[in-house]
């Protein structure tokens, strides 16, 4: 049994450190040493929300992800990364910021202890559900080639207006990343039906004991996507 919880970064610095340490360890395992997510300034950004997978007693962190709301506190990680090779990213994010609340799903990781069980798929669905709970209208993501199809199943579409039809060399030259975007978070018109059903379940019932199925079978988890955002205005 796992527990999966959400929190606002500025409300829980200790859990932020747990997340960051786990993410860094996974990146180092794969030889990635220079990434924008290594910047810990997000700890202090009131527009950052974190989802963390832990053991039932909270003693072990297994994975997680973050949502960064676009605000005046800091650039989005996708802006920091992509602007090095294409400044048009700023025009793109500004466009969607003008249309409603936007931001980015980023920093997704899971430890080798749960690798291959389907947690990356689950986190993608949870991230979209969390964005719905945050009343966002659109959501960006920058992902590796092997996660593009997974993101597309959750409703993301490749954003071909930046980079080389949406692709970039990031975070080092032998790694390709693709920029994707959900333009309509409410209706998710391009999402896979099974993904959409799960996403709506997570967003409408943020506290539940449930399960998901991956390549190695079914796993259960206690979910709690409620955070201080339920009591405070989003920044």
Indicate the domain borders of the chain: 2-138+201-230
- pLDDT category at 229 given cuts 50, 70, 90 is low
Cβ proximity of 114 and 159 under 8 Å: no
Arch. (CATH architecture) of 2-138+201-230:
3-Layer(aba) Sandwich (3.40)
State phi, psi for 136 to the nearest 5 degrees.
-80, 150
25-51 residues labelled b (16+ CB within 10 A) or e (exposed) = ebbeeeeeeebbbeeeebbebbbbbbb
pLDDT at 235 over 50: no
Distance, in Å, from the CA atom of 12 to the CA atom of 99, rounded to the nearest integer, reads: 30
pLDDT tens track for 14-45: 999 999 999 888 888 777 766 654 678 999 99
Q: Find all residues with CB under 8 Å of 122, minimum gap 6, and list them.
A: 212, 214
pTM: 0.92
Residues in the chain: 235
Q: Of 67, 153, 169, give the one whose Cα is nearest residue 108.
A: 67
pLDDT tens track for 148-193: 999 999 999 999 998 888 888 765 546 789 999 999 999 999 999 9
pLDDT at 121 over 70: yes
Cβ proximity of 79 and 90 under 8 Å: yes
């Amino acid at each position: 049994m796992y527990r999966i919880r959400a929190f606002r970064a500025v409300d829980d610095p200790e859990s932020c450190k747990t997340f960051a340490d786990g993410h860094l360890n996974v990146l180092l395992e794969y030889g990635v040493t220079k990434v924008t997510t290594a910047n810990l300034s997000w700890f202090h950004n009131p527009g950052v929300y974190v989802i963390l997978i832990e053991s039932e007693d909270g003693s072990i962190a297994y994975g997680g992800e973050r949502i960064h709301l676009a605000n005046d506190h800091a650039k989005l990680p996708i802006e920091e990364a992509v602007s090095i090779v294409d400044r048009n990213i700023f025009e793109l994010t500004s466009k969607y910021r003008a249309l409603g609340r936007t931001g980015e799903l980023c920093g997704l990781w899971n430890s080798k202890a749960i690798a291959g069980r389907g947690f990356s798929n689950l986190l993608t669905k949870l991230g979209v559900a969390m964005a719905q709970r945050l009343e966002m209208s659109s959501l960006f993501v920058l992902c590796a080639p092997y996660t593009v199809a997974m993101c597309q199943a959750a409703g993301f579409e490749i954003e071909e207006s930046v980079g080389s039809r949406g692709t970039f060399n990031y975070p080092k030259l032998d790694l390709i990343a693709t920029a994707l975007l959900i333009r309509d978070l409410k209706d998710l018109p391009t999402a896979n039906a099974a993904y959409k059903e799960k996403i709506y379940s997570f967003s409408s019932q943020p506290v539940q004991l449930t399960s998901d199925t991956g390549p190695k079978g079914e796993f259960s988890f206690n979910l709690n996507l409620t955070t201080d955002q339920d009591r405070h205005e989003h920044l």
